[in-house]
Amino acid sequence: MSQREVVIGSRIGLHARPAAMFVQAATACGLPVRISKVGGTKTVDARSILSVLALGAKGGDTVLLEADGEGAEGALEELVSLLLRDLDSETADA
């Protein structure tokens, strides 16, 4: 199992569109990916929009990503890169 910690870069956190972008990327990697807030007790499927939204990850929160399978390291690197970005400002400019 591969793991990565990352600080949420989006100002408001993983809500609506940023969460959808993250879930889409997690689903596209083709591996089981899980996400949890560091210090929290709940780990959820990163491919489920409802689960990711329910996590309540805010901007500046640290989350833990976990993935299993061949290519997990690369998949997590891509997801970390996505979460580090301020997706709120990117979606506002689009």
Which residues are tagged catalytic? 15
Neighbour-count burial of 40, counting CB atoms closer than 10 A to its CB (0-12 exposed, 13-18 middle, 19+ buried): middle
CB contact at 8 A, 79 and 18? no
Cα separation, 60 vs 48, in Å, equals 22
Distance between the two ends of the chain, CA-based, in angstroms? 36
